[in-house]
Amino acid sequence: MNEGSYSCSKCNITSKPTNHSQSDNLILEKLNQLAAEVNEIKQTTSKTSSKLETLIDEVHTLKKCVKEVSNISDDLKLIKPQLPIMRRDIEDIKQYQRSNNLVISGFPKDFDINPYDVVIDIGSQLKVTISRSEIDIAHWLRSRREGAPKSLIVRFVNRWKIEQLKTSKLDHGSLDTKQLGYTCATSTIYINDHLSPKMQHLQYQARMLKRSKILSKKWFSKGSLMVKTAKGHELRIQEEEDLKVIDGGNTSVASPVSAV
């Protein structure tokens, strides 16, 4: 009998010797493969866990952003109804800053007399005494169109002098360069309030309605555009919508004079 083998006479079984070294190597190889797989799973799990944590952080950040947006949305809902009032307040400020100003236009393009002297001459013709100290500043405006009549802007120290000039101009009627004693070509002189762009637009719209006989009169008072309808209603115009509803006689939106 070979070494490492045995036999059983009763069972009639004979065992063969086993190669333990080869078997151990196979088991070790399997274990190494299993360990490598486990290690790979651990690495994958670690990366997945890290990505999951990053995703969780991003979700928390997103929730905070959503909450902040929600708060901003709530604030906007509160602010939105106030926007028309705020716009109107800003417009009032813009016009108030111009309240001491007049724009005097209609001078020939080559007219080149000192603007302070022109203002004083106009006052003299309208029988309104104007001293140099009552004029804060006066200067010629740059013409937007080549060859267009020249205009000057004057800012008075107080509004009262403007009201005097406007009242006297109404009583005097048409005013031109010849009446002022200038030797240049005769041209009509216009005296107007210095209006903000929005008020200029409203004045233009009111002028169109006046030409259409829907309005009988328009004028400015204390920085506000005033109109008189064909039916005799005097109204203050603050928005273009106020003029639109006048067409056809419906003046329910425009502010009544009592509210001025």
Rounded to whole angstroms, how far apart are CA atoms 224 and 203? 10
User: What does the pLDDT read at residue 251?
Assistant: 46
Read off the tokens for 181.
């004693």
- Residue 215's CB: how many other CB atoms inside 10 A? 23
The neighbouring-strand residues paired with 224 are 221
Helix, strand or coil for residue 113? coil
90-93 long-range contacts (CB < 8 A, ≥24 apart) are 91/196, 91/198, 91/199, 92/223
User: Phi and psi of 8, rounded to 5°?
Assistant: -120, 120
Asked if 229 and 215 count as a contact pair (C-beta separation under 8 A), the reply is: yes
Counting Cβ atoms within 10 Å, is residue 250 exposed (0-12), middle (13-18) or buried (19+)? exposed
Per residue of the chain (260 residues), what is the pLDDT tens digit? 545 454 555 555 555 555 557 777 777 777 778 877 777 787 777 777 777 888 888 888 888 888 888 888 888 888 888 888 888 888 888 888 898 999 999 999 889 899 999 999 999 999 999 999 999 999 999 887 887 899 999 999 998 999 999 999 999 999 999 999 999 889 999 999 998 888 889 989 999 999 988 899 988 877 788 899 888 888 888 888 888 878 654 444 454 444 33
Rounded to whole angstroms, how far apart are CA atoms 173 and 169? 6
User: What does the pLDDT read at residue 247?
Assistant: 64
Rounded to whole angstroms, how far apart are CA atoms 172 and 158? 22
Largest Cα–Cα distance in the chain? 156
> Is 0.85 surpassed by the pTM of this model?
no
Read off the tokens for 89.
């307040």
User: What does the pLDDT read at residue 260?
Assistant: 37
Asked if 196 and 94 count as a contact pair (C-beta separation under 8 A), the reply is: yes
Please enumerate in sequence order all residues whose Cβ is within 8 A of that of 164, keeping only pairs 6 or more positions apart, or say none. 128
Read off the tokens for 54.
């990053």
